[in-house]
């Protein structure tokens, strides 16, 4: 039987912090943002709640960028671009893998595909701008 989560102001604040930004924050970012308002907040509490949100499907993990896991409160289908220069994570709207491709791969390799994602890597426009010669 699944344990029901009791209401917690800190848990709600952690979720709102992640859902309220497009910067794809780290747990450390969430902790630093909320610590002034919740002085007794621990980094462990942030990590435990993030793990629960991921497990519940309330947020997603974008993956590890520069050694830190990044999160997204936007769970609608979309992909991400990660800048290899500054580490920015940018939302890219649209579906880049067709349902037909998922079906074909599932049939060919005898799999059940629940979801698919694309992650682009490269250099963002800000970093490209800074690299231009004067």
Instruction: Write down the pLDDT at residue 134.
Output: 58
Give the H/E segment covering residue 121: strand 119-122
CATH fold of 9-131, please? Arc Repressor Mutant, subunit A (1.10.10)
Q: What is the pLDDT along the chain (134 residues), one digit of tens a residue?
A: 455 667 799 999 999 999 999 999 999 999 999 999 999 999 999 999 999 999 999 999 999 999 999 999 999 889 999 999 999 999 999 888 888 999 999 999 999 998 888 899 999 999 999 987 65
Which pTM does this prediction carry? Answer: 0.84
DSSP run (H or E) holding 122: strand 119-122
User: CA–CA separation, 22 vs 114, rounded Å?
Assistant: 25
Q: What is the 3-state secondary structure (H, E, C) of 21-85?
A: CCCCCCHHHHHHHHCCCCCCCCHHHHHHHHHHHHHHCCCEEEEEECCEEEEECCCCCCEEEEECC
Pull the structure tokens for residue 18.
């992640």
């Amino acid at each position: 039987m699944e344990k029901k989560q009791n209401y917690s102001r800190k848990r709600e604040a952690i979720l709102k912090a992640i859902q309220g930004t497009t910067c794809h924050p780290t747990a450390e970012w969430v902790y630093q943002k909320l610590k002034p308002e919740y002085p007794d907040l621990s980094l462990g509490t942030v990590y435990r709640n993030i793990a629960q949100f991921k497990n519940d499907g309330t947020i997603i993990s974008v993956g590890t960028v520069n050694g830190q896991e990044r999160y997204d409160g936007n769970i609608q289908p979309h992909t991400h671009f990660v800048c290899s220069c500054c580490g920015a994570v940018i939302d890219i709207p649209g579906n880049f893998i067709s349902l037909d491709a998922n079906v074909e791969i599932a049939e060919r390799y005898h799999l059940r595909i629940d979801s698919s994602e694309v992650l682009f890597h490269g250099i963002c426009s800000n970093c490209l701008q800074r690299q231009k010669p004067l």
